[in-house]
Structure 1
Amino acid sequence: MASIRQEVVINAAAQHIWDVIRDVGAVHERLLPGRVAETRVAGVDRFLTFPDGHVIQELIVAIDDESRRLAYSVVEGARPALDYHHASFEVRAEGEYGRLIWTTDILPDTLAPEIRIRTQIGIAEMKKSIEAAEYEQP
């Protein structure tokens, strides 16, 4: 199983970063605006609609406020198709800022290079969105 880990320091308070990450129904507004067009939550399932109309269904496995950790799994709609997917976000305080850690486990291993590139791009976009929102606060 391939395990991909991305980390980035975000110029925002750790609690603000966590508030964005844990807001599972607002990915399109707070975490990845433009990349995700719509987010819908039904129980423990989250549906992300992309600008091209493609939908990914995720299972929200855990939201742990104490450890600032969110775990989820893509269960349908992954492109390319994955045999297995599990990922988590963790937010840690780092001085006045926060560190976002995104760990993704996938099968088949052969897709790791493509998923690694996607997560590199994704975490950079998240950093940009979270920092912009932090500076817009009164």
Structure 2
Amino acid sequence: MVASIHKEIALDAAPETVWDVVRDVGAVHTRFAPGFVIDVTMEDGARLVTFGNGLVAREVIVDVDERLRRLAYSVRSERLSHHNASFQVVAAERGSRLVWIADVLPHEAAVQVGAMMEAGLVAAKTKLDCA
């Protein structure tokens, strides 16, 4: 069984606004989480993401579902034997909620991945609530 990490955050921005940012897979460093992500390079259905802490990850874009406002991706790396993740934007009574789920192996990676997800959501909230 994989380690499943579930994070979610309330945002003041409308779901349409948040989805427009999330679906822009090549602009994470400018539109979604600047500072947390410092560079993105697109290559053959994937994005090469450079994080502020120096980590670089190749994220294969699995699906961009306009109807469900869901983006799915998978990281390929030597440290992770399995990684699938998704963002989903849902309407809330006020603004929207951003749900981020990741399934990872080995289990020990869940601590670092979860901490990075938390930091990413803080950066996203800062950026999106100002949008």
Q: Same fold (TM over 0.5)?
A: yes
Question: Post-superposition shift, 1:51?
Answer: 4.6
Does residue 1:121 correspond to 2:122, yes or no? no
Task: Give the partner amino acid of 2:41.
Answer: R
Q: Larger deviation: 31-40 or 113-122? A: 113-122
How much has 1:64 moved relative to structure 2? 0.3
Q: TM-score if structure 1 supplies the norm length?
A: 0.86
Which of these residues, 79, 82, 85, is aligned with residue 84 of structure 1? Answer: 82
* Aligned-partner residue type, residue 48 of structure 1: V
Question: How much has 1:95 moved relative to structure 2?
Answer: 2.2
The gaps in structure 1 that reach 5 residues or longer are none
Residue 35 of structure 1 deviates from its aligned partner by: 1.9
- Kindly indicate whether residue 7 of structure 2 is the aligned counterpart of residue 2 of structure 1: no
> Does the CA contact (< 8 Å) of 1:8 and 1:99 recur in 2?
yes
Greater mean alpha carbon deviation, residues 32-41 or residues 58-67: 32-41
- Runs (4+) of structure 1 exceeding 3 A deviation are 50-54
1:67-126 deviation per Cα after TM superposition (whole angstroms, max 9, x unaligned): 00000011137xxx1111110000000124000000000001122223222212221211
Work out the CA distance in 1 between the residues paired with 2:74 and 2:111: 19
| Range with bigger deviation, 58-67 or 106-115 | 106-115
Matched, 1:40 2:41: yes
**2:95 — aligned with what?**
97
**How far did residue 2 of structure 1 move?**
0.4
How far apart are the structure 2 equivalents of 1:52 and 1:93? 32
Fraction of identical pairs, as percent: 40
Residue 63 (str. 1) matches residue 61 (str. 2): no
Give the number of aligned pairs: 130
Please say if residues 58 and 76 of structure 1, whose CA atoms lie closer than 8 Å, have aligned partners that are also in contact: no
Superposition map of 1:100-111 within 5 A: 100-111=98-109
CA distance in 2, matches of 1:31, 1:52: 17
